[in-house]
């Protein structure tokens, strides 16, 4: 029996499920930032990721929280303090991303060269 996707469909395989959770430009960067820091506030996360908008970061964090890989804790202070950290599931996902990051490090020059060689659209 297949597992359900966030969009109501079914996953075809484990890679489909993993990409559904971590897909996109910013989610892996969020996971990596939280891995390095342990716990970060929204502003700290945003400053650590150059180019992300507040709206996109908030959306990506909501999705990661819904997928139970990021924990959001609101402290009853004035003004409220909100901190983000990885769950156990998020930690294990980061462990799975390490080989992908190593692959990117090893092949970054070739990837950039291929992109620079692409004809303009």
Contacts for 80-85 with beta carbons within 8 Å, 24 or more apart? 81/41, 82/41, 82/42, 83/39, 83/40, 83/41, 84/34, 84/39, 84/40, 84/41, 84/42, 84/45, 85/34, 85/38, 85/39, 85/40
The residues with which 72 forms a beta bridge, in sequence order, are 84
Q: How many angstroms separate the CA atoms of 96 and 75, rounded? A: 31
Kindly report the CATH number that applies to the domain delimited by 14-117. Answer: 1.10.10.10
So where are the chain's domains?
14-117
Model's pTM, two decimal places? 0.80
- Tens-binned pLDDT, residue by residue, of the chain (121 aa): 345 555 667 888 888 888 888 888 899 999 999 998 899 999 999 999 999 999 999 999 999 999 999 999 999 888 889 999 999 999 999 999 889 889 988 999 998 899 888 776 6
Helix (H) or strand (E) holding 51: none
Q: How many angstroms separate the CA atoms of 72 and 34, rounded? A: 12
């Amino acid at each position: 029996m297949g597992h359900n996707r966030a969009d109501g469909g079914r996953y075809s395989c484990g890679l489909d499920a993993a990409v559904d959770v971590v897909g996109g430009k910013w989610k892996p960067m969020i996971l990596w930032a939280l891995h390095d820091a342990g716990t970060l506030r929204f502003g700290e996360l945003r400053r650590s990721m150059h180019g992300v908008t507040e709206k996109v970061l908030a959306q990506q964090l909501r999705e990661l929280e819904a997928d139970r890989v990021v924990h959001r804790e609101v402290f009853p202070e004035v003004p409220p303090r909100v901190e983000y950290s990885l769950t156990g599931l998020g930690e294990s996902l980061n462990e799975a991303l390490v080989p992908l990051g190593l692959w990117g490090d090893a092949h970054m020059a070739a990837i950039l060269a291929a992109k620079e060689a692409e004809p303009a659209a």
